[in-house]
């Protein structure tokens, strides 16, 4: 038997649906959770796990990213060598293909980080823009323009993480323009949320609060509990940064209530966000308000169960711990967590977090601890980047 024949026989013996079920259960995910992450209904996941082969290459690629399935176990090792345009030629619905591509780009951003997401971004933006123009006056016009609006938001997120704030503002303004043309409150609210948080990173919490409150007003009485929770979490953080303590914790109360609400319909923009657990949001807010003991306790509790694939989020928590320990004057711990934050941020290309570590080191270097060995080692690490 030839090597190729042996390989083909091996692949035929692997039941891809059962592999998906095993890896899903290992992550303690329900079929409903996997359906939400894939952007499909529950019945689709149930059928998929019963089938020996998952026909969609894009879906298999997404399952590898979501569940950590080795590519060879799901038949990707040979198929990924085929020209990608083969999938395009065989797809009978280019609109659905484009929507699935959009979800994949967001998944790469959430899981793989900025460095991976930026690859091919220009090509994707060109594809989305050209397709939207080609569907003017057709039944696909609304769907294609929604994809374009969410693609602009992706572009804004990536450039924001790279600290290219003017570019990010422009991308979000483009997203707002398309959403206004569609008169779509959900897309308008998500764009306002994203645009507002660029101001947050520019240390302009007042503008952040203004944009987030406008986003809330847009969806009041319209449902969207998941989006509402995202906005409330961001708003509480902006209020904490503005040292509006009572307003911050009142917003947290509203957030907890929003998280209890059930929505029978999946929100279209659900894949644009990775929800921050309430415990993590409380930790972030406590740190910004100077309640350091509470913040550290909450961060440690969150880290104990943190998903290791969410590297950017973990880097955020590490730099927060480093900054807290600086405020407490515990410099060895400060440097330890700053080094870990830097390593995590560098692995996914998060210039925003790398910038925070650099700023912290600059503060340390001009402080009374500037000559300590740990501060010097952190400086050497940063200089070698």
**What is the Cα–Cα distance from 319 to 353, expressed in whole angstroms?**
7
The kind and range of the H/E element at 123 are: helix 121-134
Angle, vertex CA 192, rays to CA 249 and CA 128, nearest 5: 140
The pLDDT of 110-135, averaged and rounded, is 89
Q: What is the pLDDT of residue 271?
A: 87
Other Cβ atoms less than 10 A from the Cβ of 49: the count is 19
- Triad 201, 202, 203: Cα angle to 5°: 90
Mean pLDDT in residue range 37-56? 88
pLDDT digits (tens, 9 = 90+) for 142-198: 999 999 999 999 999 999 999 999 999 999 999 999 999 999 999 999 999 999 999
Alpha-carbon torsion (177, 178, 182, 184), positive or negative = negative
28 sits in the region (left: phi over 0; alpha: psi -120 to 50; else beta) called left
Say what the alpha-carbon torsion angle 15, 109, 111, 162 is, to the nearest 10 degrees: 160
Model-level pTM?
Answer: 0.71
Return phi, psi of residue 90, to 5°: -85, -10
With H, G, I as helix, E, B as strand and everything else as coil, classify residue 69.
Answer: coil
Residue 137 burial class via C-beta count within 10 angstroms: exposed 0-12, middle 13-18, buried 19 and up: exposed
> Distance of CA 315 to CAs 192, 215, 311, 343, 352, Å?
25, 28, 6, 8, 10
Least confident of 61-65, 137-141, 174-178, 374-378: 61-65
CATH 1.10.260.40 domain residues, the chain: 1-90
Q: Vertex 33, ends 29 and 36: CA angle to 5°?
A: 150
Specify the DSSP class assigned to residue 269: T
* Distance (Å, whole) CA 71 – CA 27: 17
User: pLDDT tens digits for 239-255?
Assistant: 999 999 999 999 999 99
Residue 2 is predicted with a pLDDT of: 36
d(CA 341, CA 210): 30
pLDDT recorded at residue 130: 94
Contact 102, 151 (CB under 8 A): yes
Reported as a pLDDT band with limits 50, 70 and 90, residue 85 is: very low
1-90 under CATH 3.40.190.10, yes or no:
no
């Amino acid at each position: 038997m030839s090597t190729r024949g042996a390989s083909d026989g091996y692949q035929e013996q692997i039941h891809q649906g059962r592999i998906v079920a095993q890896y899903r259960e290992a992550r303690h995910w329900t079929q409903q959770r996997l359906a939400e992450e894939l952007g499909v209904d529950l019945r689709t996941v149930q059928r998929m796990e019963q089938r020996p082969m998952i026909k969609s290459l894009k879906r298999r690629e997404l399952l590898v990213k979501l569940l950590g399935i080795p590519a060879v176990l799901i038949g990707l090792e040979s198929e990924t060598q085929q020209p990608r345009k083969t999938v395009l030629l065989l797809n009978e619905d280019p609109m659905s293909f484009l929507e699935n591509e959009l979800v994949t780009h967001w998944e790469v951003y959430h899981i793989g980080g900025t460095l991976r997401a930026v690859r091919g971004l220009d090509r994707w933006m060109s594809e989305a823009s050209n397709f939207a123009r080609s569907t003017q006056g057709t039944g696909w016009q609304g769907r294609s323009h929604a994809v374009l609006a969410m693609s602009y938001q992706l572009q804004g997120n990536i450039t924001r993480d790279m600290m290219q704030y003017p570019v990010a503002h422009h991308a979000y303004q483009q997203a707002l323009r398309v959403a206004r043309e569609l008169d779509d409150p959900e897309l308008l609210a998500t764009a306002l949320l994203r645009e507002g948080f660029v101001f947050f990173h520019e240390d302009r919490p007042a503008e952040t609060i203004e944009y987030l409150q406008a986003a809330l007003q847009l969806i009041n009485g319209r449902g969207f509990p998941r989006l509402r929770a995202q906005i409330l979490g961001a708003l509480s953080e902006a209020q904490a940064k503005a040292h509006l303590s009572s307003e911050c914790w009142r917003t947290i109360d509203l957030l907890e209530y929003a998280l209890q609400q059930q929505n029978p319909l999946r929100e279209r923009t659900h894949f644009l966000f990775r929800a921050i657990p309430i415990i993590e949001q409380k930790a972030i807010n406590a740190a910004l308000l100077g309640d350091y003991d509470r913040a550290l306790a909450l961060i440690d509790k969150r880290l104990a169960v943190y998903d290791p694939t969410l590297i950017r989020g973990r880097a955020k928590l590490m730099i927060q711990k480093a900054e807290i320990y600086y405020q407490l004057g515990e410099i060895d711990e400060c440097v330890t967590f700053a080094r870990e934050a830097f390593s995590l941020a560098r692995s996914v290309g998060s210039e925003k977090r790398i910038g925070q570590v650099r700023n912290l080191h600059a503060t340390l270097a001009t402080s009374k601890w500037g000559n300590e060995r740990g501060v010097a080692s952190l400086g050497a690490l940063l200089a070698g980047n």
